[in-house]
């Protein structure tokens, strides 16, 4: 299961409903925002885990943190601590606020949702993505996953990005955006 589907299905859609309510959006708009922002987060995560200590750091975060709570308890999405945690996640995944702003700007262009709203949503969505990944990690087996076994779990992110396995995510992200937004 990919991250988007895991978030959309969390609590029978309650997590997306809470996200929508928090930012004054419809559930459809919240789903569109997720679809537009998650590929960039997954791409940053994939870059990080390909670095020497990146995979070990992710395994540590997923096995020691309580990220799954963001999907298990959607009411937590509105808590200030969630935004703080999300900003820390974004710092690791995307590296800078400039990259986060560019991600929000690109998502605004493709969704029609205001860039300011998407900037505020990004840390919350980052926590949701980590929650989905933590769930996938937990369902993969032992809480003491090795880097090698975690690499298999990250395959869900890679397949989310490079669905046709051609080594490029550009065509896949464009195709995903087209599907999500009624494209061609």
Spell out a b/e string for 33-72, using b for 16 or more CB atoms within 10 Å of the CB, else e: bbbbbbbbbbbbbbebbeeeebbeebbebbeeeebbebbe
Residue 120's pLDDT band (boundaries 50, 70, 90)?
Answer: very high
For 124-166, the pLDDT digits (tens) are 999 888 888 877 766 655 444 444 444 444 444 445 445 555 5
Q: What is the mean pLDDT of residues 49-53?
A: 73
DSSP 8-state code for residue 183: -
The larger pLDDT score, comparing residue 46 to residue 153, is at 46
Helix-strand-coil split of the chain, %, nearest 5: 80, 0, 20
Q: What pTM was estimated for this model as a whole? A: 0.75
What mean pLDDT, rounded, does the chain reach?
Answer: 75
Give residue 95's pLDDT. 83
DSSP string, 110-154: HH---HHHHHHHHHHHHHHHHHHHHHHHHHTS-SS--HHHHHHHH
Give tens-digit pLDDT for 74-89: 888 888 999 998 898 8
Which residues lie closer than 8 Å to 83 by C-beta, 6 or more apart? 123, 124
**Per-residue confidence (pLDDT) for residue 184, from 0 to 100:** 38
pLDDT for residue 139 = 64
Q: Higher model confidence: residue 140 or residue 53? A: 53
Q: Using one digit for the tens of pLDDT, what is the confidence trace for 12-25?
A: 778 888 999 999 99
The pair of three-digit structure tokens given for residue 179, joined into one six-digit string: 């599907």
Residue 167 pLDDT class (50, 70, 90 cuts):
low
Return the pLDDT at 125.
93
């Amino acid at each position: 299961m990919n991250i988007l589907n895991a978030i959309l299905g969390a609590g029978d859609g309650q997590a997306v409903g809470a996200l929508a309510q928090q930012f004054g959006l419809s559930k459809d708009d919240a789903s569109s925002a997720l679809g537009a922002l998650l590929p960039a987060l997954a791409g940053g995560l994939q870059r990080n885990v390909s670095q020497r200590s990146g995979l070990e750091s992710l395994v540590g975060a997923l096995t020691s943190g309580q990220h799954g709570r963001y999907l298990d308890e959607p009411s937590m999405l509105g808590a200030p601590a969630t935004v703080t945690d999300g900003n820390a996640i974004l710092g690791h995944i995307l590296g800078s606020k400039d990259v986060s702003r560019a991600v929000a700007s690109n998502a605004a262009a493709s969704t029609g949702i205001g860039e300011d709203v998407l900037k505020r949503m990004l840390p919350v969505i980052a926590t949701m993505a980590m929650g989905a990944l933590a769930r996938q990690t937990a369902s993969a087996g032992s809480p003491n996953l090795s880097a090698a076994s975690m690499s298999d779990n990250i395959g869900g992110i890679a397949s989310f990005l490079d669905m046709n396995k051609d080594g490029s995510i550009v065509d896949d992200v464009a195709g995903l955006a087209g599907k999500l937004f009624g494209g061609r």
